[in-house]
Amino acid sequence: MKHDPEFDLNSIPLTQWLDARDSQEIPWKTRIENAELRMDQRLEVAYSATLQPKDVNNLAGDLYFIAGVTDAAGKSLVPPKVVHRSLDGKIPEDKELRFNDNVIAQPGEYFLCLVLYESQTGRHNTLKRRITVTTSSGDPLPNAGKDLPQLEFFDFSDRERGTLQFFNGLSLPVTNKRMLRVELISLLNPPEQWSDQRRIVRRHMQQTAAALNALSQLQLAQGTVSIIGLDVAHGAVAFQQADVEQLNSEELTAVLNKIADDNTVSLATMQRGGSGAFFRESLDLQLTPSTGATKIIVVVSGSEVFDPSGSVKPLDPRKNCDCRVYHLRFRYDIHDGSDDIGKILKPIGPRTFDIATPREFRKSLAEIIRDLNNL
């Protein structure tokens, strides 16, 4: 789902088509989902259009799938997104052609317009549906998205394989009185027990990116936010950014994609006690007092079960760090009942949040901010 900026929307009577009744000159099946909160704390409306091979293979020209959003009067509220599909080969009979995308929106009432256009014959389909975007009752962060765009299409998206999407503009003010030094420590690797499950690997990548994107936008009254991304399988700090003003999303994306493509644990890591030992040693380095500031450690991970041949020795509880520790633990499966990260952290008394939904992540963000407001 890549936007085609070369297509000239003035070359088709788009407004005239949308002013008329819905049309279907090419068989298709459409679906528009209800608005949902994403893990990155934006609201999205997902939609799709599906065509069967027998209908696609009879077409001669190129296909263009156009999505736009208007108000009740038909005024366009965001530049339409155009996706171009070149019909330069037959689709196998056991496959289908699916356009699968989403629009990001602030709360409000809109009309979502979908158009399918075949260039050679001019055949086209149109669909116009009212969509309502609302927040859930009792929102713990009611103003978090107030500075975000009203509507937004992504130039590139891949809902089925998963894409990493970063943005700025969350409003997450913290009214702390003391100087704070916030350290975000993330296990970038997917949990070892799920490393061969591509669906969970993709989900881990997306949720890790979403969590770091949101947490990096904490607006401290006094203090700094830094990020350490650990590749525990290879015993390395794969990503690091101190005093974050804007997350280096390009580098983080490259690192996450590289780690996702390698589900091995290095021999050197195993010889040093495994991934768990490297995590414990990395965190131990952070359990030192911060001169002139209160240290806040936020660990972001999945529910991790390390190789039993390695070490999951708990941290030394005698460390005099005077730190406050939070653990954001994502649950990817109903069988995520055990967590070695929790065992390692237990002696230092972290406040742990189990997160399976975007709403739960939002609540954890709100509770961490409320805690920091009291410092």
| Residue 325 belongs to a domain | yes
CA distances from 152 to 3, 82, 87, 168, 231 (A): 12, 13, 28, 13, 33
The tokens for 279 are: 């995590």
**Cα–Cα distance measured from residue 16 to residue 307, given in angstroms and rounded to the nearest whole number:** 62
| Residue 162 belongs to a domain | no
Q: 323 with 296: CB under 8 angstroms?
A: yes
Whether residue 274 sits in one domain with residue 130: no
Residue 60 CB contacts under 8 Å (≥ 6 apart), including other chains: 87, 118, 120, 121
Q: What SS3 class is residue 105?
A: strand
Determine the pLDDT at residue 161.
67
Whether residue 190 sits in one domain with residue 147: no
Look at the block and give the residue holding tokens 């065992």: 343
Mean pLDDT for back-to-back runs of 10 residues, the chain (375 residues): 93 93 95 96 96 90 94 92 88 91 96 95 95 92 94 85 84 96 95 86 93 97 97 95 94 93 85 89 88 93 86 79 91 83 93 96 98 96
Whether residue 69 sits in one domain with residue 186: no
| Residue 230 belongs to a domain | yes
Whether residue 191 sits in one domain with residue 117: no
Instruction: Give the range of the structural domain holding residue 365, as residue numbers without chain letter.
Output: 172-373
| Residue 1 belongs to a domain | no
**Cα–Cα distance measured from residue 7 to residue 10, given in angstroms and rounded to the nearest whole number:** 9
Whether residue 334 sits in one domain with residue 191: yes
Q: How many domains does the chain have?
A: 2
The tokens for 186 are: 């993330």
| Residue 43 belongs to a domain | yes
**Cα–Cα distance measured from residue 261 to residue 188, given in angstroms and rounded to the nearest whole number:** 12
| Residue 289 belongs to a domain | yes
**Cα–Cα distance measured from residue 45 to residue 257, given in angstroms and rounded to the nearest whole number:** 26
Alpha helices in 178-334 (DSSP H): 198-215, 249-260, 267-271, 274-286
| Residue 3 belongs to a domain | no
Which domain CATH number covers 261? 3.40.50
Q: Between β-strands 108-118 and 63-70, what pairing exists: parallel, antiparallel or unpaired?
A: antiparallel
Look at the block and give the residue holding tokens 């279907």: 24
Determine the pLDDT at residue 55.
92
Q: Is 320 exposed, middle or buried (0-12, 13-18, 19+ CB in 10 A)?
A: exposed
| Residue 69 belongs to a domain | yes
Determine the pLDDT at residue 293.
92
Which domain CATH number covers 119? 2.60.40.3880
Determine the pLDDT at residue 96.
92
Determine the pLDDT at residue 341.
93
